[in-house]
Amino acid sequence: MTHPHQRLLIIDFGSQVTQLIARRLRELKVYCEIHPFNRVNEAFLKDFAPKAVIFSGGPASVYAEGAPMPPAGVFDLGVPILGICYGQQVMMHCLGGHVEGGHGTAEFGRARVTPTDDRLPLLEGWFAEGPEQVWMSHGDHVSKIAPGFQVYGTSPNAPFAITADVSRNFYAVQFHPEVHHTPKGAKLYENFVRLAGFTGDWTMASYREDAIQKIRDQVGDRKVICALSGGVDSSVAAILIHEAIGEQLTCVFVDHGLMRLNEAEEVVTMFREAYNLPLIHADESDLFLGALDGVSDPEVKRKTIGRLFIEVFEKHAKAIGGADFLAQGTLYPDVIESVSFSGGPSVTIKSHHNVGGLPEKMGMKLVEPLRELFKDEVRALGRELGLPAKFIGRHPFPGPGLAIRCPGEITREKLEILRRADAVYIDQIRKHGLYDEIWQAFAAILPMRTVGVMGDGRTYDYAVGLRAVTSVDGMTADYYPFTHDFLGETATRIINEVKGVNRVFYDCTSKPPGTIELE
Ligand code: XMP
């Protein structure tokens, strides 16, 4: 098969940080894909046609029963290979070296690597300031390198920290260059892709062109329907598909009455007017709010919204005469099949709302033009497609909307107070220039009233909770450390400007143990 870009294959041996390798490479405009070691065989390698291969780290020991091994034929591809941590150990093990485990070989945390010989293209500019800090995280270590390899750097606990067989273009390091604690790690990847002959041909402009062609090939003259939420992912997917197939695309914006202040109007206006997208504005707020009346259990709320969403979407899809394809803004992190060594089902913390289940139910195939992108790449594509910066940089907003920011029973009155308080809070954050530093910020309305005094009178009003977190992917998060002045000013503004609120709390919980949303 011919591929439009030079491709690098990352073989995943189960490290927690394999995705970071892909991030570093994408930053270098190198197209790469991550595949678990047990899904890669000779036929796959031939079809993938990598220009270079990276073996990730992993938690196993090469001597353990069923230890992950690289696919047959990988060392005969004739392309450069870089092994990282377990990737180094397994490379040595396969090529005739030796790995040892047990007492005294483990090393976790920062270490300094001293050069023994830096005349290696991989190390160009690396040891310019002397020994380099790296991040180690390994139980076993290499005790004898494979024939043909030479040592280029050592650390106190890893005598073979950097090794290479230059004649075969095989490189192997014991540390993790992909993490931030290896400050010059990106340089190592840069050197590796340069020596492998990558030219940096993975750009958003070329992605846009390829994606448009792929959508045309897949869809032909058939119809596509897209659930547009107003979030960055579904918006970028819709605009891209519209560019590819024009009027064959119909978008449905399901307005569940749980959007933020003026949000529904803004989304509809932008897509209809600026992008001329065929858009159905399905105002179903009465249906959703009616079904949620009296519901206070978080899971019941989520499941009710998820079920109604599918019903409503299906109704509107039928009304336009159906579609053959459903467009979704699925991203690469959702697609990567990671190697799990723990096994077993994990506990459901929250039932996430998405449109999964729809394609089978309606007999539709999926169009997922963002499947190969990370979140920041979707933003870059959005910029490429001309989406306004303010829109692209928006904080994430959950599918169930304000329902999960209104613990307890949802009423129209509470939603209105919440919308107004949230708008003041976000305005404050923008005015203080903090919006882009924060991953997600929002107000919640708490299920209680408290007593206050305003003017000369007693008040008995709602309390509002403010949340702001920093995060990389929403999986873990730290609460944002606003100054007391900011919090005081914001509380005063909310109480003065939003009728029905007489108290404001700030949530100082990180995730874990909290979650980002309240429900
Ligand atoms: P939690 O509350 O689980 O949230 O810490 C993590 C991130 O996910 C978002 N979130 C959702 N997004 N559908 C979504 O599309 C959902 O049902 C949903 N629930 C939470 C949340 O806003 C945060 O960014």
Q: Residues 195-215: pLDDT tens digits?
A: 999 999 999 998 999 999 999
Q: Residues 282-296: pLDDT tens digits?
A: 999 999 999 999 999
Position 1 pLDDT exceeds 80: no
> 383 CA distance to ligand 1 centroid (A)?
24
Q: Which of 347, 350, 355 to mutate to test the pocket of ligand 1 (most atoms within 8 A of CB)?
A: 350
The domain defined by 412-506 folds into GMP Synthetase; Chain A, domain 3 (3.30.300)
> 398 CA distance to ligand 1 centroid (A)?
5
Sorted by sequence, the CB contacts under 8 Å of residue 51 that are 6+ apart come out as 6, 7, 8, 79, 196, 197, 198
> 307 CA distance to ligand 1 centroid (A)?
17
User: In whole angstroms, what is the distance from residue 391 CA to residue 379 CA?
Assistant: 10
Q: Residues 295-323: pLDDT tens digits?
A: 999 999 999 999 999 999 999 989 999 89
Average pLDDT for the chain: 93
Q: Extract the tokens encoding 93.
A: 């093990």
Q: CATH says 7-196 is which class? A: alpha beta
Tell which wins on pLDDT, 134 or 106.
134
Indicate which residue of 5, 176, 242, 316 is catalytic: 176
pLDDT of residue 102: 67
User: In whole angstroms, what is the distance from residue 68 CA to residue 264 CA?
Assistant: 50
Q: Catalytic annotation on 519?
A: no
Position 224 pLDDT exceeds 50: yes
pLDDT of residue 118: 77
Q: What sign does the dihedral 286-291-294-300 (CA atoms) show?
A: negative
pLDDT of residue 299: 95
User: In whole angstroms, what is the distance from residue 237 CA to residue 223 CA?
Assistant: 15
Position 240 pLDDT exceeds 60: yes
Q: Is 204-393 CATH 3.40.50.620?
A: yes
Position 345 pLDDT exceeds 60: no
Phi, psi of 76 (to 5 degrees): -100, 5
Q: Catalytic annotation on 178?
A: yes
Q: Residues 459-475: pLDDT tens digits?
A: 999 999 999 999 987 88
Sorted by where each begins, the domain ranges of the chain are 7-196, 204-393, 412-506
pLDDT of residue 372: 86
Residue having the nearest C-alpha atom to atom 12 of ligand 1: 398
Indicate which residue of 178, 190, 377, 519 is catalytic: 178
Listed ranges 146-150, 272-276, 358-362; the one with the highest mean pLDDT: 146-150
Atom of ligand 1 nearest to the CA of 519: 2
Indicate which residue of 5, 35, 85, 132 is catalytic: 85
Q: Do domains 7-196 and 412-506 have the same CATH topology?
A: no
